[in-house]
Amino acid sequence: MPKPRTLPKIIIGLLINKGELTGKQMLDVFNNDLSEFWKVSHSQLYPELKRMVAEKSVTINSSRQYSVTNLGKEQFDQWLNEPITFENRDLFALKIFFVRDGKSSTLVSLLRNELAVHGSHLEHLKTRYDVLFNSRSQIDENYGHYLVLTRAISRERDYLVWLDQVLLLAVNDRMLND
Partner DNA sequence: ACATGCATGTAACCAGTTACATGATTTA
Partner DNA sequence: TAAATCATGTAACTGGTTACATGCATGT
**Binding footprint of DNA on the chain (CB under 7 A):** 1-3, 5-7, 22-24, 27, 39-44, 46-47, 49-50, 64
Shortest spacing between CB 166 and its own copies, in angstroms: 6
| 65 to 94: interface string for its own copies, x by CB under 8 A | ----------------------------x-
| Residue 162 makes contact with its own copies by CB under 8 A | yes
Inter-CA distances, 33 with 37, 67, 110, 162, Å = 9, 20, 20, 19
Residue 54 binding: pick among DNA, its own copies, none (C-beta 5-8 Å cut-off by kind): none
Phi-psi region of 56 (alpha: psi -120 to 50; beta: other; left: phi over 0): left
Site for its own copies in 26-55 (CB under 8 A): 33-34, 36-37
β strands within the chain, DSSP E? 58-60, 66-68
| Residue 136 makes contact with its own copies by CB under 8 A | no
Q: Which residues pair with 58 in a beta bridge?
A: 68
| Distance, CA of 165 to CA of 64 (rounded, Å) | 41
Span interacting with its own copies, options 41-49, 52-60, 69-77, 147-155, rule CB under 8 A: 147-155
Span interacting with its own copies, options 19-27, 57-65, 66-74, 100-108, rule CB under 8 A: 100-108
Counting Cα atoms < 13 Å in the Cβ hemisphere of 165 gives: 6
